[in-house]
Amino acid sequence: MGIAIIKLVSTIAKDVDMIASQIKGIASNLGVKCSGPVPLPTHIVSQTTRKNAGADGSHTFERWEMRIHKRLIEIDGSEQALRQIMRIPVPDTVQIEIGLS
C-alpha cells in the first residue's frame, strides 16, 4: 500500500486536536511511520449585519465570525492501521477525509 493522507476539518479546534492525537497514537502503537498533524491555515468566515432593520435610528452593526480549523496527517498505508482509524468515534463537528496515494 502507499501513503494515506488524512485531512481533518472542524469549527472546534479541541475536537480536531483530539482526533489527531488518537490517530497519532494508533500509528505509534502499530509502529507505522506517521508525520503530522500539520496545522493548515485557519479559514475565517465573517459576516456583518445591521442590527436595526429600518433606515431610522443609529447605524449599529453586528459582526459574526466562524473559524474553520484544519489538520493534515500522513501515514504509511498499513491496512490494519487504516481499519483502526476508521473505528475511531468521531464527533459530529469533525469531518475526516482519507485519501490513498
Q: Is the pLDDT of residue 18 over 80?
A: yes
Separation of alpha carbons 66 and 53, rounded Å: 23
Neighbours of 91 (CB within 10 A): 12
Q: Is the pLDDT of residue 56 over 80?
A: no
Tell me the average pLDDT across 79-86: 90
Tell me the average pLDDT across 45-52: 88
Tell me the average pLDDT across 43-61: 83
Whole-prediction pTM value? 0.84
Q: Is the pLDDT of residue 94 over 80?
A: yes
Delimit the domains of the chain by residue range.
3-100
Domain 3-100 CATH class label: alpha beta
Location of C-alpha cell 486536536: 17
